[in-house]
């Protein structure tokens, strides 16, 4: 297969943008609050729940926490100078309290096992190399990436792999403190998904009022789901002295934060991604009225282009109406609703990714697949020594240690090449004219009867997605394709 063909295949999904809101984090863990709940918790933590300035009716759809915070953030013409200063002080205290509440909520969330769809989604984003825009301050995505142990081959050769870390998906924006030596991650660009945290994060710290952005750093992440903990305060102050947590409060008044060069660059990258997107998916994002900048970017993405939209939300009606009001075509918006909306979206994405893989393979000629190895791998691929036509399996997929890769056929279809069964060491246990190289795989799907590639484990069928890489292994093919089950390998 030519390098150009390999490159074109690896770009499936790269023009996709996924936008995460507070509803996404709530779907991952019940400990994570929605915005108005976060406001109430922050007031309580700061000892301000009974403050006379808090709305008597509380926060609700008619008057949200974000709208109230926006009033505090800006000088009001009907207040005296001293009252406006008091509001500014309250705004500052609440911003600090927001970070403290969320940090504790993330720790509580990490003590529980996340839903299976969460790892499936992270794997799909990784293999499809999507751009992920989040307005959430929490670190659940970063924690999930560390726990999932997604991998890409290193530059040193195909037997060396790099496990994806938070710094890879963030592209070191912001970097770790200078006291921590970290390897160069620039080569990993576009080998995994990109995470843009437009409103900061609970693990970002900066010197207050620093307009240069030079003091903005990210604290190192310690642990995984089940063993996560924040840095203790003495360690944090040693690594990041004189700094406050950097989060952009949920209000309309954000211009002071946008003077930070790194934040401006993240927003510019987000705008570029959205304007070039063919599909934009909103997961748990409700299009709050105060977020005028994001609304403007969505409108810009819609203008003059055909963009498909997906909404996964408990109640998708409001974001749907916002999209239509911004100019989206009536038939361009797909909705997933209910408490399991994001899980529905994830499984639909897995099926689409698998079908796109089949369509791409169907568009190749058999000669395109000569000299390209095929591997079945959950994470870190293991290359065999038996030649370039062997499919290696990194398992065990189920309690028996036996897995099966198969073609899903249309009803009533007959085919000779239906798949192969593999042992936990990658050995082929049995075949039915099984495909062993990319050429054989292309031949196997060159019929309209084939709908998807799937992996059978424990009686369940899991869609397969693909990731293409160049290998520098001496004496072997310099190209290979990893077929990866969407989801996380069970230990």
Alpha-carbon distance 193 to 176, whole Å? 19
Report the C-alpha dihedral over residues 262, 267, 269, 271, rounded to 10 degrees. -170
Q: Say if 1 falls within a structural domain.
A: no
pLDDT tens sequence across 371-408 = 665 666 555 444 433 322 233 333 334 444 455 555 55
Is it true that the peptide bond before 396 is cis, omega within 30 degrees of 0? Answer: yes
CA dist 129 → 38, 122, 147 (Å):
31, 10, 18
Are 80 and 204 in the same domain?
no
**Pair of tokens at residue 150:** 């997604």
Which position has the higher pLDDT, 322 or 392?
Answer: 322
Where does the pLDDT of residue 333 fall: very low under 50, low under 70, confident under 90, or very high at 90 and above?
very high
Q: 157: alpha, beta or left, given left = phi > 0 and alpha = psi -120 to 50?
A: left
Q: How many domains does the chain have?
A: 3
Identify the pLDDT of residue 459.
Answer: 61
Enumerate the H helices of 46-80 as residue ranges. Answer: 65-73
Are 269 and 410 in the same domain?
no
Rg (CA), the chain: 24
* pTM reported for the whole predicted model: 0.84
Q: Say if 291 falls within a structural domain.
A: yes
Are 121 and 99 in the same domain?
no
CATH code, domain with 229? 3.40.50
Identify the pLDDT of residue 394.
Answer: 34
Are 173 and 243 in the same domain?
yes
State the residue for tokens 């609050």. Answer: 33
Q: Say if 356 falls within a structural domain.
A: no
Q: Is the pLDDT of residue 208 over 70?
A: yes
Final residue belonging to a domain, choices 291, 320, 350: 350
Are 95 and 119 in the same domain?
no
Once rounded to an integer, what is the mean pLDDT over residues 335-341?
A: 96
Q: Say if 322 falls within a structural domain.
A: yes
Once rounded to an integer, what is the mean pLDDT over residues 447-467?
A: 67
Are 129 and 106 in the same domain?
no
Are 324 and 393 in the same domain?
no
SS3 per-residue string spanning 392-450: EECCCCCCCCCEEEEEEECCCCCCCCCEEEECCCCCEEEEECCCCEHHHHHHHCCCCCE
Where does the pLDDT of residue 272 fall: very low under 50, low under 70, confident under 90, or very high at 90 and above?
very high
Where does the pLDDT of residue 337 fall: very low under 50, low under 70, confident under 90, or very high at 90 and above?
very high
Q: Say if 73 falls within a structural domain.
A: yes
Are 119 and 230 in the same domain?
yes
How many CB atoms neighbour CB 479 within 10 A? Answer: 21
Q: Is the pLDDT of residue 420 over 80?
A: no
Domain of 407, in residue numbers: 364-485
Q: Is the pLDDT of residue 435 over 70?
A: no
Are 474 and 379 in the same domain?
yes
Are 69 and 122 in the same domain?
no
Alpha-carbon distance 58 to 52, whole Å? 12
Once rounded to an integer, what is the mean pLDDT over residues 172-182?
A: 76
* 270, 297 Cβ separation under 8 angstroms: yes
CA dist 266 → 171, 327, 484 (Å):
11, 25, 30
Rounded to a whole number of angstroms, the distance between the first and last alpha carbons of the chain is 35
Identify the pLDDT of residue 207.
Answer: 93
Q: Say if 433 falls within a structural domain.
A: yes
Are 301 and 397 in the same domain?
no
Are 474 and 400 in the same domain?
yes
């Amino acid at each position: 297969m030519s390098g150009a063909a390999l490159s074109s295949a690896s770009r499936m999904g790269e023009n996709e943008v996924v936008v995460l809101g507070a509803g996404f984090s709530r779907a991952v863990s019940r400990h994570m609050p929605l915005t108005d709940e976060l406001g109430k918790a922050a007031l309580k933590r700061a000892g301000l729940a009974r403050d006379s300035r808090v709305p008597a009716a509380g926060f609700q759809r008619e008057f949200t926490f974000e709208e109230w915070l926006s009033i505090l953030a800006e000088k009001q013409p009907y207040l005296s100078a001293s009252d406006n200063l008091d509001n500014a002080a309250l705004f500052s205290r609440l911003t600090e309290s927001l970070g403290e509440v969320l940090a504790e909520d993330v720790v509580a969330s990490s003590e529980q096992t996340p839903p299976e769809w969460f790892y499936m989604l992270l794997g799909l984003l990784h293999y499809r190399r999507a751009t992920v825009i989040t307005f959430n301050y929490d670190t659940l995505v970063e924690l999930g990436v560390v726990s999932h142990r997604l991998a890409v081959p290193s530059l040193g050769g195909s037997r060396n792999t790099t496990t994806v870390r938070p710094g890879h998906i963030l592209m070191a924006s912001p970097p770790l403190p200078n006291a921590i030596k970290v390897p160069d991650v620039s080569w990993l660009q576009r080998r995994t998904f990109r995470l843009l945290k437009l409103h900061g994060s609970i693990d970002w710290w900066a010197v207050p009022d620093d307009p240069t952005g030079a003091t903005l750093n990210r604290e190192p992440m310690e642990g995984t789901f089940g063993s996560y903990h924040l840095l203790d305060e003495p360690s944090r102050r040693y690594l990041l002295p004189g700094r406050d947590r950097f989060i952009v409060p949920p209000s309309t008044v954000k211009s002071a934060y946008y003077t930070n060069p790194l934040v401006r660059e993240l927003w510019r990258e987000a705008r570029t991604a959205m304007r070039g997107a063919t599909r934009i998916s909103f997961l748990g994002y409700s299009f709050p009225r105060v977020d005028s900048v994001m609304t403007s970017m969505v409108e810009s993405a819609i203008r003059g282009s055909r963009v498909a939209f997906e909404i996964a939300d408990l109640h998708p009606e409001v974001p749907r109406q916002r999209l239509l009001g911004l100019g989206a075509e009536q038939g361009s918006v797909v909705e997933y609703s209910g408490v399991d909306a994001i899980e529905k979206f994830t499984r639909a994405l897995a099926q689409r990714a698998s079908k796109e893989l089949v369509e791409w393979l169907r568009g190749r000629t058999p000669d395109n697949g000569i000299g390209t190895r095929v591997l079945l791998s959950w994470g870190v691929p293991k290359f065999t020594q038996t030649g370039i036509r062997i499919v290696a399996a990194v398992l065990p997929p189920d309690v028996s240690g036996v897995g099966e890769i198969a073609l899903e056929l249309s009803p009533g279809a007959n085919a000779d090449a239906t798949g192969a069964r593999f042992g936990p060491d990658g050995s082929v246990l049995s075949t039915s004219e099984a495909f062993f190289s990319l050429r054989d795989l292309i031949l196997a799907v060159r019929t309209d009867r084939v709908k998807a590639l799937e992996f059978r484990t424990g009686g369940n069928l899991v869609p397969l997605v693909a990731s293409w890489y160049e290998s520098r292994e001496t004496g072997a093919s310099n190209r290979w394709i990893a077929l990866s089950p969407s989801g996380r390998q069970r230990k």
